[in-house]
């Protein structure tokens, strides 16, 4: 019979919470990109023109390419550090800013997506990184108040003569965003830090209990062994005492019994 060589199975990859968080971020980004793609498809179907959609299309393709590359990266064994996760969130902010620039800037109702990177950073990253993501989001939102390309689908007030009222509304949205980002960055980061400390405390207590259980197990084993040895040792001690009590016991044997008795005591 011909020998068949078997290929040893590769060991399973260890679970990585950081890589799982990155995959979740990529899933959220993919859903957001699908939403913008649906908007793009609606514009093409309703207006029958693609004259002003080249920038949007390029931004969507660029973000989709980065998302696919990042998804492949999650299959690699390299650990996902905080700086890499921060870079992914900043890519989200930059890519979304490009999409918003070509679709009406702050007039686009999807502008509120800037809250998502801030919330994710507050839940996952350290405080300093979260403030960096929050600052980048607020800066991008602020720039898009004044620098953008008009997009008729999201600026109907421009054609209805309600420019001043619309500007007040957009400014109110910006203040609301600023207030929300401040609250999220401060309180969510604080709550996340408290949860992390609680998890560390629980883990330390669990390890301490395991240590105590191991000590108790060793102590129980030692007690059981001592109990098992106690009966024959007691018997030997009685026999030695009886031998020492004999008058005709030779001196050399009496000396050996004395030594043995001292060892048994």
Query: Is the predicted pLDDT of residue 11 greater than 60, yes or no?
Result: no
> What's the pLDDT at 55?
84
> What's the pLDDT at 154?
67
> What's the pLDDT at 156?
52
Q: Which tops the pLDDT comparison, 127 or 91?
A: 91
φ, ψ of residue 144 to 5 degrees: the values are -70, -10
> What's the pLDDT at 40?
82
Average the pLDDT over 211-233 and give the result.
Answer: 73
Query: Is the predicted pLDDT of residue 251 greater than 70, yes or no?
Result: yes
Do residues 110 and 35 lie in contact, with contact meaning Cβ atoms separated by under 8 Å? yes
For 87-104, the pLDDT digits (tens) are: 999 999 999 999 999 888
Residues 134-143 as b/e (b if ≥16 CB within 10 A, e otherwise) read bebbbebbee
> What's the pLDDT at 218?
81
SS3 64: helix
For 159-171, the pLDDT digits (tens) are: 444 444 457 778 8
Residues 60-70 as b/e (b if ≥16 CB within 10 A, e otherwise) read beebbebbeeb
Q: Which tops the pLDDT comparison, 4 or 19?
A: 19
> What's the pLDDT at 139?
94
> What's the pLDDT at 15?
46
Beta strand spans in the chain (E):
none
Average the pLDDT over 84-88 and give the result.
Answer: 91
**Listed residue (255, 239, 129, 142) closest to 193, CA to CA:** 129
For 169-214, the pLDDT digits (tens) are: 788 788 888 888 888 877 777 777 777 777 777 777 888 888 878 8
Residue-averaged pLDDT of the chain: 78
Specify burial of residue 217 (Cβ count, 10 A radius: 0-12, 13-18, 19+): exposed
SS (H, E, C) 131-196: HHHHHHHHHHHHHHCCCCCCCHHHCHHHHCCCHHHHHHHHHHHHHHHHHHHHHHHHHHHHHHHHHH
Residues 188-199 as b/e (b if ≥16 CB within 10 A, e otherwise) read bbeebeeeeeee
* Predicted TM-score (pTM) of this structure: 0.64
> What's the pLDDT at 89?
93
> What's the pLDDT at 227?
64
User: Which pair of tokens denotes residue 245?
Assistant: 């009590």
Query: Is the predicted pLDDT of residue 80 greater than 50, yes or no?
Result: yes
> What's the pLDDT at 24?
87
Confidence of residue 50 (pLDDT cuts 50, 70, 90): low
Q: Which tops the pLDDT comparison, 157 or 90?
A: 90
Specify burial of residue 144 (Cβ count, 10 A radius: 0-12, 13-18, 19+): buried
Average the pLDDT over 105-114 and give the result.
Answer: 86
């Amino acid at each position: 019979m011909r020998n068949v060589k078997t290929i040893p199975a590769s060991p399973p990859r260890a679970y990585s919470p950081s890589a799982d968080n990155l995959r979740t971020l990529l899933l959220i980004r993919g859903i957001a990109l699908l939403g913008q793609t649906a908007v793009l498809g609606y514009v093409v179907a309703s207006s029958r023109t693609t004259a002003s959609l080249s920038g949007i299309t390029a931004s969507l393709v660029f973000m989709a390419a980065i998302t696919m590359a990042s998804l492949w990266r999650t299959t690699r064994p390299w650990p996902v550090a905080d700086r890499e996760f921060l870079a992914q969130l900043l890519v989200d902010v930059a890519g979304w800013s490009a999409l918003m620039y070509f679709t009406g800037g702050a007039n686009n109702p999807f502008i509120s997506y800037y809250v998502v990177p801030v919330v994710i950073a507050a839940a996952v990253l350290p405080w300093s990184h979260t403030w960096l993501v929050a600052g980048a989001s607020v800066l991008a939102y602020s720039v898009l108040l004044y620098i953008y390309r008009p997009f008729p689908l999201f600026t109907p007030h421009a054609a209805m003569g309600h420019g001043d009222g619309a500007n007040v509304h957009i400014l109110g949205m910006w203040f609301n965003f600023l207030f929300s980002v401040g609250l999220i960055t401060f309180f969510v980061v604080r709550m996340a830090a408290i949860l992390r400390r609680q998890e560390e405390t629980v883990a330390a207590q669990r390890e301490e209990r395991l240590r105590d259980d191991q000590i108790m197990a060793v102590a129980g084993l030692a007690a059981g062994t001592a109990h098992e040895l106690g009966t024959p040792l007691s018997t030997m001690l009685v026999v030695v005492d009886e031998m020492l009590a004999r008058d005709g016991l030779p001196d050399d044997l009496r000396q050996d019994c004395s030594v043995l008795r001292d060892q048994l005591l």
